[in-house]
């Protein structure tokens, strides 16, 4: 069963062991995504792990609330971004620093983490810009069309259209490569 659905059922059941198992599955399925998004949005520092932990424990504080959200994973990503961003902002104010150093990665098309690596190098070569950026930001980071459009300075419709076209092309290329 889908991890999200299982989690919501477990919460409704009120069974501690079942809830623990469901949360573990949700965590394993999505923690790398949350991690990637945090690194992409704010850069990695010694406290990123703490941000992950704090945001996840936040989910456990009010499980009832999770029953009302569409996707718990999205909710987790958003709360992790909020926590991390809040901390960075506080830190920036304390240090009286410009936000250049901390947010240097923001606005870059393909995140450093994946740039030029294995499959992602191929995606860049096959699809070119900005289609490769759109595919990576959407498929690997779960960014919304709006977020991608703002990041790449395009319209949302264009992102939607290019993504559909690009993912088809990528599927074809991967199939050809396999053959």
Partner 1 sequence: MKRNRTERRVFEAADALTPEPPSFESVTKGVDWDTVAQNGRPSPRRRRILVPMAIAGLAVCVTAAIVIPLAINFSNEPSYYGEGGQRPVLYGTFAASRWVCSDPSIDFSLSTLEVTEKRNDAPSTALLFGKEGNYVCCVRFTENPFGSFEFGVLSFELGEYRGEASYLSQKTPFSISFPLEESSEKTITISFGDSSSFALGTVYYTPIG
Site for partner 1 in 7-36 (CB under 8 A): 11-12, 14-17, 19-20, 23-24, 27-28, 31-36
Q: Please answer whether residues 145 and 123 qualify as being in contact, where contact means their C-beta atoms are separated by less than 8 angstroms.
A: no
Q: Please answer whether residues 141 and 113 qualify as being in contact, where contact means their C-beta atoms are separated by less than 8 angstroms.
A: no
Q: Measured from the CB atom, is 7 or 152 closer to partner 1?
A: 7
Length of the chain: 179
| DSSP state string for 127-169 | H-TTHHHHHHHHHTT---HHHHHHHHT--HHHHHHHHHHHHHH
d(CA 75, CA 157): 24
Binding mask 144-173 for partner 1 (x = CB under 8 A): -----------------------x--xx--
Among 3, 41, 42, 63, binds partner 1 (CB under 8 A): 63
Half-sphere exposure of 152 (CA within 13 A, CB side): 29
Find the shortest distance in angstroms from Cβ 53 to partner 1. Answer: 5
Among 3, 41, 43, 44, binds partner 1 (CB under 8 A): 44
Residues near partner 1, by CB under 8 A? 11-12, 14-17, 19-20, 23-24, 27-28, 31-36, 39, 44, 49, 52-53, 56-57, 60-64, 71, 73, 113-114, 117-120, 123, 135-136, 138-142, 167, 170-171, 174
């Amino acid at each position: 069963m889908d991890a999200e659905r299982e989690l919501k059922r477990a919460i409704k059941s009120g069974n501690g062991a079942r809830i623990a198992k469901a949360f573990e599955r949700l965590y394993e399925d999505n923690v790398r995504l949350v991690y990637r998004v945090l690194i992409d949005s704010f850069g990695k520092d010694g406290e990123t792990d703490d941000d992950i932990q704090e945001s996840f424990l936040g989910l456990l504080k009010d499980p009832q609330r999770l029953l009302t959200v569409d996707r718990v994973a999205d909710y987790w990503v958003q709360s992790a971004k909020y926590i991390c961003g809040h901390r960075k902002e506080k830190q920036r104010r304390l240090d009286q620093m410009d936000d250049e150093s901390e947010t240097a990665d923001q606005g870059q098309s393909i995140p450093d983490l994946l740039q030029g690596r294995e499959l992602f190098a191929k995606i860049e070569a096959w699809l070119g810009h900005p289609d490769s950026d759109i595919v990576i930001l959407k498929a690997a980071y779960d960014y919304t069309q709006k977020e991608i459009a703002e990041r790449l300075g395009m319209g949302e419709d264009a992102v939607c259209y290019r993504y559909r076209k690009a993912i088809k092309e990528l599927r074809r290329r991967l199939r050809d490569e396999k053959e």
